[in-house]
Chains A and B, each alone.
Chain A
Amino acid sequence: MNSLLRSTARCLRSGAAVFLPRQADGRVLSAPARLLCAAADNQKDLGEMVKKDKVVVFMKGTPAQPMCGFSNAVVQILRMHGVDDYAAYNVLDDQDLRQGVKDFSNWPTIPQVYFNGEFVGGCDILLQMHQNGDLVDELKKLGIHSALLDAEKESK
């Protein structure tokens, strides 16, 4: 699974590299045909990335080591609901992804959360969904049973 994610990210990077032909790592592009539709590819790849996993998060840092308070908040909220199995993409690793995902969702900030390929929102929205109970329902629609439901039962 992990390697699949990595290969998509790599694919996205090479597709978007046309905007920054001289990247620091001196990547050589070997598929010229791909360059012609690089911008479209970038968005198409993102379309596939967000659909491949039920829960997808674009964040700064990783779930194990978030590099921003807002990204950390998203990780903590998901953890509270027992959602551990999700795809997390670190936008700090990839400037093209960082801008690409903002264009894709028409949303100016990171983190960004997707459920079943649908844009849910950023940190504020996820937090409010957590507070008003909507998050439990939305997870249920994905077939994910929130761990908070069990915690409630135990405390009763």
Chain B
Amino acid sequence: MAITADHIRDKLIKELAAVHVDVEDTSPNRCAASFKVLVVSSQFEGKQLLQRHRMVNTCLAEELKEIHAFEQKTLTPEQWEKQKSQ
């Protein structure tokens, strides 16, 4: 199964009710071996960073078996607005 940025985005939107997702293929020749994601979801509210990252890891557990490297940033909608305005 080839993992695409679109597949990751769709899954995060569907399972974590993400309101905004950025997925970047960070592998040198864009061969879908490593990804960097930004996930914005209200489900992260009141949760520690570790818990948020675990939610993303759980959501993408199958995909992560194939992915070599994975970077993530997890924000609540409020944090996302604040970051955009900076």
Determine if B1 is an interface residue (Cβ-Cβ < 8 Å): no
Determine if A121 is an interface residue (Cβ-Cβ < 8 Å): yes
Beta-carbon nearest neighbor of A126 in chain B = B49
Q: Are A108 and B57 in contact (CB under 8 A)?
A: yes
Q: Are A107 and B57 in contact (CB under 8 A)?
A: yes
Given A107-B57, A108-B57, A108-B61, answer yes or no on A125-B50 (Cβ-Cβ < 8 Å).
Answer: yes
Given A107-B57, A108-B57, A108-B64, answer yes or no on A120-B70 (Cβ-Cβ < 8 Å).
Answer: no
Determine if B69 is an interface residue (Cβ-Cβ < 8 Å): yes
Task: Give the chain B neighbours of A128 by CB distance below 8 A.
Answer: 49, 73
Q: Are B50 and A119 in contact (CB under 8 A)?
A: yes
Determine if B72 is an interface residue (Cβ-Cβ < 8 Å): yes
Task: Give the chain A neighbours of B9 by CB distance below 8 A.
Answer: none
* Of the residues B50, B65, B69, B71, contact of A120 by C-beta under 8 Å: B50
Task: Give the chain B neighbours of A109 by CB distance below 8 A.
Answer: 64, 69-70
In this complex, which of A107, A109, A120, A122 has the most chain B Cβ atoms within 10 angstroms of its Cβ?
Answer: A109
- CB-defined interface of A122-156 with B at 8 Å, one 1/0 digit per residue? 11110011000000000000000000000000000
- CB-defined interface of A96-125 with B at 8 Å, one 1/0 digit per residue? 000000000011110000000001111111
Determine if B53 is an interface residue (Cβ-Cβ < 8 Å): yes
Given A108-B70, A109-B69, A109-B70, answer yes or no on A121-B50 (Cβ-Cβ < 8 Å).
Answer: yes
Top 9 A-B pairs, shortest CB-CB distance: A108-B64, A121-B50, A125-B49, A124-B71, A124-B72, A108-B57, A109-B70, A128-B49, A125-B50
Instruction: Kindly list 15 other residue pairs between chains A and B, CB separation below 8 angstroms, not including A70-B69, A106-B54, A121-B50.
Output: A70-B71, A107-B54, A107-B57, A108-B70, A109-B64, A109-B70, A121-B49, A121-B53, A122-B53, A124-B72, A124-B73, A125-B50, A128-B49, A128-B73, A129-B49
